[in-house]
Amino acid sequence: MRILVDGDACPVKKEIKKISLKYSIDVIYYTSVSHYTFDKLFHNTIYLDNEAQEVDIRIINDITKEDLLITDDYGLACATLEKCKAVLSSSGNIYTKDNIELLLFQRHLAQLARKKREKVSNKKKRNEEADEHFYQILKTVVEKEIDNK
């Protein structure tokens, strides 16, 4: 099992790293060169061109049935849902066949609203509780997959 991370704007890298160390799971971060960082915490990073969808395409090509994916991109989640064990958001939501269509539709409505210059969301600032919630969800998913082997 590996954890693949759509890493450009991932706020839970430290939580993912804790899980990877605890369960000896490889983590691969995919990010554009514009988000370059030199940090020992994220040593297994694949840097890609800053072209639109470059990171998504690489993840789609690399992901396997044994992998978990962390992304907040509904389109990428939809494209990989059937190709891996699980897809999670950084808030700890698990994408499924049952909820992805609604999420994609909500994204579409938000895009239409933005075109009309309407206010779309009141996203709250991330806090430690949100990070801990994500950690617990990821831990549960990983332990379930380990137990299924």
pTM for this prediction: 0.84
CA distance 85 to 75: 17
Given phi > 0 = left and psi -120 to 50 = alpha, else beta, which region is 106?
alpha
Beta strands in 13-124 (DSSP E): 26-32, 45-48, 68-70, 86-88, 94-95
Displacement of CA 127 from its chain's centroid (Å): 18
Residue 11 has pLDDT above 70, yes or no: yes
Task: Note the pLDDT of residue 111.
Answer: 79
In this structure, are residues 141 and 84 in contact, taking their beta carbons and an 8 Å threshold? Answer: no
For 56, residues 6+ apart whose C-beta sits below 8 A from its C-beta are 6, 73, 75, 76, 79
> Percentage of the chain with pLDDT > 90?
52
The neighbour count for residue 8, using CB atoms within 10 Å, is: 17
Instruction: Give the chain's domains with CATH numbers.
Output: 2-96+126-147 (3.40.50)
Average pLDDT, the chain: 87
Q: Is there a contact between 56 and 36 (Cβ–Cβ < 8 Å)?
A: no
Write out pLDDT tens, residues 47-102. Answer: 887 777 899 999 999 999 999 999 999 889 999 999 999 999 999 999 998 988 88
What is the per-residue pLDDT for 46? 84
- The residue behind tokens 């962390």 is 70
